[in-house]
Amino acid sequence: MADSIINGKRVLAVDDEPDVLDTLEDLLDDYEGLILDKAMDYDTGYHLLRSWTYDAVILDIMGVRGYDLLNAAVHLGFPTVMLTAHAFSVEDLKRSIKLGAHAYIPKEKMADLPDFLEDVLTLEHRSSLKQMFLRLGGMFITKFGSRWMESEQAFWDRVASGDYEAMPVILKK
Given pLDDT bands bounded at 50, 70 and 90, which one contains residue 88?
Answer: confident
Q: Tell me, yes or no, if the pTM score tops 0.95.
A: no
pLDDT computed for residue 170 by the predictor: 59
**b/e string for 75-114 if b means 16 or more Cβ within 10 A?**
eeebbbbbbbeebbebebbebbbebbbbbbbbbeebeebb
CATH class of 10-161: alpha beta
**What residue segments make up the domains of the chain, in order of their start?**
10-161
Q: Average the pLDDT over 13-20 and give the result.
A: 96
pLDDT of 17 higher than 90: yes
pLDDT of 169 higher than 70: no
pLDDT computed for residue 165 by the predictor: 82
Q: Which of 84, 125, 122 is nearest to 102 (CA)?
A: 125
Computed over every residue of the chain, the mean pLDDT equals 91
